[in-house]
Amino acid sequence: MGQRGFDDLTAADGTPLYLPYIATKNDPEPYGVLLYNDLVSGKYGQIVPFTATPEMLQAAKDTRRAEVCAWRDAQENGNYLFDYNGHRWDYGKSTQDRMSISLVMAKRNALPADFAWTDGDNNIVPMDNAGLIALSAAIEQAMFEKGMQINQRQLQMKAEVEALTTLEAVKAYVVGWAEGI
């Protein structure tokens, strides 16, 4: 879509007013065909094809990298499930927050005898002090492993974005987990 000023229309400050319009050889409107023919003939000057500048490419890459960072933050703050000791348990920062005071009490050997923790399938699982401490350690390990996957993927995406050489390729780049992960 080319933008050209027509009819010498200007804003109050003298800035030319541009009319964005897509004109084609087979335009359904007569003025579209006329405009197309005038543009092709050079009546309004040379129409140069769009060329992305290095600054435009860099701005697009910056935008895509910001999307990668937002993706990483969302993944790091997500909730996940893992298998441990015959149950599927949820893990993530919110799990750690919920567990924190109970874990303090477990480390003091102060959990009540009827204490229980709910697994990721919403089953109530009786838990003693050592069991909760062990579950917390397993959650930390699962979080570490997921964090490593997230970090590796975000580094890979940033490198892939940096290697792109066209504006079209940067705009087409999809942020997220690669297929099959």
- pTM here is 0.73
Predicted local distance difference test score (pLDDT) of residue 50: 83
Nearest-angstrom CA–CA distance, 57 and 64: 11
- Residue extents of the structural domains in the chain: 3-41, 83-153
Select from 98, 4, 92 the least CA-distant residue to 45: 4
Q: What is the pLDDT of residues 37-77, one digit of tens each?
A: 998 899 988 888 889 999 999 999 999 999 999 999 999 99
- H or E element: which one contains 17? strand 16-20
Nearest-angstrom CA–CA distance, 38 and 65: 42
